[in-house]
Structure 1
Amino acid sequence: MFTVYTLAELAELLSTEKTLYVRYSSGPEADAQRQSTDHESGLPLPGIPANSLNPPRWWTLPAEDWLARRVCQYLRELREGARPWALTGREVDFGPDNEPLLDDVHPVAWLAPALLHEARERYQGNLDAGRATH
């Protein structure tokens, strides 16, 4: 699996894949060896949780701003030893946080630490990061 180093490179990948997702985990090999479970109920999930990187139709800002927002959603998982990677797959259901659950997963690329740094700076600099909805 190759590595993506910038948000621009990640945005370029969006044009080559129908739907691209991001996942924070130990990686595709580790995910393939064990079934995902819901942490609160202990129930097995019918796929692996991931989040779409594709901007919605209403998004009129640069794709890189959307990507920064999506990549930054789960940065806390880095402290837990997870690595971010991009993937494609078939949505089979939704998880407990309403995230898509995927099967038929195809790893695409690792997201480099430099990309995460760029995403964090762009998210905090270009958007009102963490603003409450009320």
Structure 2
Amino acid sequence: MVTVRTLAELAEITRSGRAPYLRYSPGPASDARHSSTDHESGLALPGLSANPLAPPAWWTLPLEDWLARRVCQYLHELDEGARPWVLSGRQVDVGPDNEPLLVDIRPVAWLDPELLDEARARYTERLNAGAATHRDR
């Protein structure tokens, strides 16, 4: 697999539709041996859980801002040995967090640690990272 080094490159891949999903895991070879599991119930899911990279219709900021947010959402999984990679596949259902569950996986690219650093910086500089959903009035 190739390696994507910048948010601009990731935006280009996302716009092209070649890799509409992001996944944190040991990688495609490991994922090919089993589907995802719902960790709370222990149930096997009918596909691999992934996060869509395309922004929703209401998102009017630059695509790179959305991608930085998506990349940073699961950075804690790096501590568990996961690596971020982008993929395409066919959605067959949704997981416990309403994330797409995919089959017919086609790996596209790894995300370089430089991209992760760029995403962290952009996320904290341009967005209100970690803002609470509900505030006391």
**Residue 89 of structure 1 contacts residue 102 of structure 1 at CA under 8 Å; is this kept in 2?**
yes
Residue of structure 2 equivalent to 1:71: 71
Q: CA deviation at 1:41?
A: 0.9
Aligned to 1:91, the other structure's residue is in SS state strand
Matches within 5 A, 1:1-134: 1-17=1-17, 20-134=20-134
- Aligned partners of 1:128, 1:100: CA distance in 2, in Å? 26
Hey, what's the Cα distance between the residues in 2 that align with 1:129 and 1:35? 31
8 Å Cα contact 1:22/1:84 also seen in 2: yes
SS at match of 1:15: helix
Letter in 1 for 2:71: V
Q: Distance in 2 between matches of 1:18 and 1:113?
A: 21
* Aligned length in residues: 134
Structure 2 residue runs of 5 or longer lacking an equivalent are none
CA RMSD in angstroms comes to 1.0
**Cα deviation per residue 1:54-93 (whole Å; 9 max; x = unaligned)?**
0111111100000000000000000000000000111111
Shift of 1:15: 2.2
**Structure 1: stretches of 5+ with no match in the other structure:** none
2:3 maps to amino acid: T
Post-superposition Cα deviations, 1:78-114, rounded to whole Å, max 9, x if no partner, equal 0000000000111111111111100111101000000
Asked if structure 2 preserves the Cα contact closer than 8 Å seen for 1:25 and 1:82, the reply is yes
Percent identical pairs in the alignment equals 69
What CA distance in whole angstroms lies between the structure 2 residues aligned with 1:127 and 1:22? 20
